[in-house]
Every structure is written in structure tokens, then in C-alpha cells.
Structure 1
Amino acid sequence: MISHSPETRWETEIARRLEQGQGLEFSRAQFAQAVDSQADDSTLLAFLDSLVNSARARRIEAYRCPMRACGKMLPAGADGTSCPYCHSDYKEQGEAPIAEHFYRLNGEISRDIRWVIVIHGMNSRAKWQEEFSWEIANRLSYSAPVLIYKYGWATIDVLARWMHRRLARNLGERIRIAIRQAEKSHRPTAPDIVVHSFGSHLLSLVLQNPAFDDLRFGRIITAASIVRPDFDWDRHIACGRIEAILNHVGDKDRAVPFAQFFIPGAGPGGRAGYLAKSTLNVRTESFGHSGFFIAENLRVLISREGLWHGFLTRPLAHFHPEGAFTPKPDWKRAPLPLRCVARLLAWTIFCALAPLSWLRRRLDP
């Protein structure tokens, strides 16, 4: 059995708090209790002082009510003569506030998931979206509305660029309406986004359309993405349109690699990863194209220790999930002759099936 030194346990606890963005402020007694140490341990005090000296934390001086029946921490700016909680005038009784040192780690606090927009892929009614909404509602301790955006089934639509633009415009307008509604409800105007497959391509078109430059987003999760690996996510993050990107890759995804051959403007981002330096690429070896949304997998991803929940809530400076990888920088599009042959075949299919697609839309909009 491995025995860890007290200093190792203390460093592990500091790393845990920074990673989760929780418990960043604490007293010596509180920290000692968390690491199973004695508060009066001189070595522990020296460790906490070293955090301050190295600028990893700062010391905060606070004061506690001296009255035995109260003992609460006095708010900053208290007059120094009476307690606002027990209303005792301790100065008149010859008592003075009890000084107590707190420590504040220099890190970001965790963020709440305020509201989310989820967008499905092609040829799907996306039952996973309802599962996602249910899991979000049940696993969070606060309200986080989930807007399920449904653009219907996408079949031969994906073969025509002009149809992409139309679907993307509809998506952009719906997001704008949702943001205005969120603003009226005093919610943040930058929703988090979870998007799958063809939906990722539509979102990229929204970002590229100047008509939607006013839209801002929080953290975005793309799963089984068909966005090109060289898409300029860095520019959108640098200008403040997007807070952060998680590209979740399924190592057994057999659909994504073929997207660039048949879908104009698409690419294998959901297999090769995004080249943008500010994006986070994570690979799960057991997932196929829709493995993210199998009920048992989705529950794990949304759980408190799950990848998606962690990305949406934790400080990203200390977020280093298992499966993170750096894509190869030499990605290139498939040879032009191959893409031309594939597109010719795609247009043949589109023209042949267009009447049936029109009829299906009339009967099942």
C-alpha cells in the first residue's frame, strides 16, 4: 500500500480545488479538516504560507464576533463595535473582534450551466435531446432550461450547399429569438451549445454569416463533428463570440471521415480533431457516430464527474480530461478528383430523390 506524505496530500487537495473551481476560500481549520491534519500543525501552517509567498494564494484577514453565543464572521466594513447578527455591543463589554486568517487560491470559480441549446444531426428526430434535457434537469441543483432545436429530418438536404445556407439561416434566427427571450428572463445572453454531426456544420455556417455577428455563445460541445479541422475557432474565441470549444471525437466513428466527399464544406473534425490551438479535443475509443447519445453513455457524460458536465462547469485552465489529444498539424483535404467524383454522384442522387424528398416534407413536415 502506497503511503503519501502530508505535503503530497495537501498538494493533491489544492489541485482538486483548483480543478473543480470550488472551495477556493478556506480557513486553516477548514483545510486541515479536509486533509485529515491538525490545524495547529506547524508544517501545515508553513505549507499555507508557502502558497501565499509563491502567489498561488493570498491571505485574507477576517474577524469573528467575540461573543460566545454568536461567533459568526463579521461582514467586511462592519463598524468594529457591534455584531449585526447578535446585536451585541462587544466594545461596551470590553471585547474585541477575533482576528482569523483565511486563504484564497488564485483560480477561477466553477460556472453554472444557465441554459443550453442542443442541435441534432442528419436523418434524426434526436430522442437523445429529450434524454439530455431530462438528465440536465435531474442532475443540477438549479434550473437550466434546455432549448431543443429541431429542423426536421435532413436526408438529401446535406448534398446541396444552398440548402445548408437555408437551414443555417433558420437556425441563426431561432437562436436570436431564444437569446432575446433569455434576456427578458434576466438570463445570460450567451447560451451553451451541444451539437451533433450535421448540426455542427450548420452552427459553423451561422458563425461565418455576418448577419449573425451579434450572436454570442458560452461553451460549445461538438460531438461527431463534420466541421473541417482547419475551421478558425481561434478567431471566434479571440473576438469573444465563443467562450470555449470541446470537440468530442468517437474513435470508431465510420461516418465522419466520408463527410468531406458528399457534404459541401464539411470535413472530418470529428475524427481528426480541430487544429485551432484554443480548442479542446477529446477522444473516446469506444464511441461510434452516435455513441455519445446512447442513454447510459449520456448519463455518464452529464454526471458530476462526467466529461461534458466538467467542461461546462469547471475552470478550463485546470481541466485536463482523459483522452485529450493534439491533432496532427498536417491535415489536408481529400484529393480534388475524388471529391469531384463523389459530388457528381451526390448530385445524381439529389436529382433522383428530390421529388420524393419534397413529397415527404409535404406529408411529414
Structure 2
Amino acid sequence: MTPFEAQERRWEAEINRRMGQGDGLEFTLAHFAKSVGADANDPALISFFNNLVRSTAARRIEACRCPLCASVLPANTVETLASCPYCQADFQQEGVEITVEYFYRLEGANSRDIRWVIVIHGMNSRAPWQEEFSWQIANRLRYSAPVLIYKYGWATIDVLITPLHRRLARRLGDRIRIAIKQATGSERPSKPDIIAHSFGTRLFSLILEDPDFQDLEFGRVITAGSIVRPDFDWSSHIESGRVEAVMNHVGGKDSAVPLAQYTIPGAGPGGKVGYASMSTLNVSNPQFGHSDFFVPQNLRTQIAEGGLWYDFLTRPLAHFRPHGAFVPALKWQPACWPVRALIRTLLYVVFCVAGPLSWLRRKIDP
């Protein structure tokens, strides 16, 4: 590789970094040259940016500044300005001329803020990660982002019954609708980001399918330890604008998710084999079990700046290709229905026996 090729690669890498992070998309040639250790007057660097402009990967923007206070002057009025509208300096009297400066703007999406988050936990979770998550959002991120951790109460043997799933999902949908109304009243966006775990992913998928909640729209969605079917139609919800984007965080050592389709009606191993929808992003961590996403140390790593969850929630996604991203290798098929039917029949017998105890459990400790 020649020295010229090496420096061009450095420039391209810096362009790709800015595009990927959605930050620093607008700059002067001098600022860019400083960041890559180059000379702003280098003809090769100037030619590099001329090529970017010709390929429409970047735009060249002319800006006029007051030579005294350095303020950018209003566009389309420079020729008629006799004085600076900010510092009131008279250009002719001061013997100065307006400074012309060129900026470059990369044609990419800006990064986004995490404005507020709804977390839907798994079954019967009372782990300390709930408080840890709120603390991390409040203290490690650069913005104030309220967190609503929805607790739908104890779900035990009743997860075997589909109508009870829908009842829990309706309660969740009603609570989200109230939260969105409160958020818009506080001048926050109407679309919360969602983080759902285990049985919480099943409830969230039911909300998306329920026509009574078609008015609810969401930002970016993270599913962890998901029991949503791999063939769930995420694409239609993304294309319709109800969901901005979906990342499915998969645990390579998750032993609970593969069993879900045998025990929970409507469930599937999405958190093990991935989502088939090409509109979603599947990311695997081979060391994680079913709930390791929320172990405090792992949670701190994921939500800290530069962590996987932080980057997914903030960065433009066109260039987002995190380590562990994968596409499901084979088309998923549900397990043999006689096997599923047999297991569920046995579990329904258990339900008939344990149902009253489950009801009593919820009454004692809702």
C-alpha cells in the first residue's frame, strides 16, 4: 500500500466513523484535517472532498461570518448587510469585510437522544436490575430520560392460557397509553423506546397485533430473551411507522427460550434463533443465558456510552453493524404439533389443579 493510499484509507475511516455515529457530520476542512493529522491545504485532501461532493456523499456549504464577533450571518442577506445584526459593528466604518467560510455536510442521519423508555420485564421479576437500569439511565447517559418499568404482577400457571395473555397485554396497552399521554403533556415525544424481556416480549407483540392499540407508536425496540416467534411480522409494523426499529438481543446459552413454544401458546424461540424479518437486527452474545442481559455489570456495559444498547438507541442505523450481528440461517418451523399438543395437555391438567393456588398467590402478593 502506498503512503497516498494509506492516508486516503484514514480519511475514509474517519468519514465512516462520523456517518456511523451520526455525530460531527458538519465541519470545516481545517477541523477535519486536524482530526486525521493532515494539512488542510493538502491538494490530495481537497481533491478527496471534491470527489465526495461530486458523488453526493457530502455537500459544500458556504457560510458568511462577521469578522469581529464570528457570528454566522443570515443567508441571502449578506450582500445588503452594512452592519452585523449581532454585534452591531459597521463593516465600512471598521474597515473590515465579511469572512467567507466553507463547510462540508455529510449526507447521513444525525444521532438521536433517548427521550424516555418503557421496560417490560419477564415473569415474576423482582431482580435488582430494575433499580440499576433506572440509575444507569439517569446517571450514565447524557440526557434526562425517564424510565417506566412496567410490572404486570405475578404470572404463574396462567401463562398457559392465551386469553390471560391478552388480558395482561390489554392492561399493559392501557398503561402505555396513559404514559404516552403524560409524556406528551410534558412536551416529550409520543413514541417511547421499549426494552422487553422474556414474557414481556410476548405481551408487547400482542399489543402490536391488537387493533384496539393501533394508535400507539413506538421508537426503537430492544427484545432480550425473546419468546416471540421468529416469523413474527415485525416488517409490517416498521414499514407502517408504528415501530422505528427492532434489535433482538440473543443469549447463546439461553436454555429457557427454546422451551417456550412447548409450554406457552403463541410463543417461539425468537430469542434463540433470531427474527426472520429482514427489517430487524439480530445480535448474539454467546456467553449470555436467559437473564444475563440484566446482571448489573452487563447492564452497565450495555447502557454506557459505546455499549450495544446505548448505540442502538442513539446511533443512525444505516451503518450500524455491531459485533455478533447475524441473519438466521434457516427458515424456522414450529415444533411438531402433536408433541406441543401433548405437552400442553399435560400442563393444562396441571393448570386445573394449580390454578386456584396461582390465584391465591396473586391475591396474597400482587
Q: TM (normalized to structure 2)?
A: 0.96
Runs (5+) with no aligned partner, structure 1: none
1:77 Cα deviation after fit? 4.8
**What CA distance in whole angstroms lies between the structure 2 residues aligned with 1:281 and 1:22?**
24
Q: Secondary structure, in 3 states, of the residue corresponding to 1:245?
A: strand
Runs of 4+ in structure 1 over 2 Å off: 70-81, 91-96
Mean alpha-carbon deviation: is it higher for 80-89 or for 353-362?
Answer: 80-89
- Residue identity over aligned pairs, in percent, reads 62
1:1-365 → structure 2 map (5 Å cutoff): 5-67=6-68, 70-79=69-78, 80-365=81-366
What is the CA-CA distance between 1:328 and the residue it aligns to?
A: 2.5
Q: Which stretch shifts more, 74-83 or 291-300?
A: 74-83
Q: Is the 8 A contact 1:156 1:350 kept in 2?
A: yes
Shift of 1:295: 0.6
Letter in 2 for 1:115: W
Q: 1:247, CA displacement in angstroms? A: 0.4
* Alpha carbons of structure 1 residues 26 and 288: separation in structure 2 relative to 1, 3 Å: same
User: 1:349 is matched by which residue type in structure 2?
Assistant: V
CA distance in 2 between partners of 1:13 and 1:44 (Å)? 13
CA offsets 1:252-296 (integer angstroms, 9 cap, x no match): 000000000000000000001001110000000000000100011
* 1:155 positional shift: 1.5
Cα separation, 2, equivalents of 1:326 and 1:124 = 30
* Shift, 1:86, TM fit: 2.4
* AA matched with 1:101: Y
Contact kept in structure 2, 1:119 and 1:195, CA below 8 Å: yes
Q: What SS does the corresponding residue of 1:16 show, helix, strand or coil?
A: helix
1:96 CA drift (Å): 2.3
- Aligned amino acid, residue 154 of structure 1: A
How well do the aligned residues superpose, as a CA RMSD in angstroms?
1.5
CA distance in 2, matches of 1:147, 1:81: 54
Counterpart AA for 1:138: N
Question: How far is 1:93 from its partner?
Answer: 3.8
The letter of the residue matching 1:43 is: A
Q: Deviation per CA, 1:70-126, whole angstroms, max 9, x where unpaired? A: 333334355532223322111344432111110000000000001000010013124
Secondary structure (helix, strand or coil) at the match of 1:317 reads: coil
For structure 2, the 5+ residue unaligned runs are: none
* Contact 1:273/1:281, CA 8 A, preserved across alignment: yes
**Residue 91 and residue 182 in structure 1: after superposition, are their counterparts in 2 closer, same or farther (change >3 A)?**
same
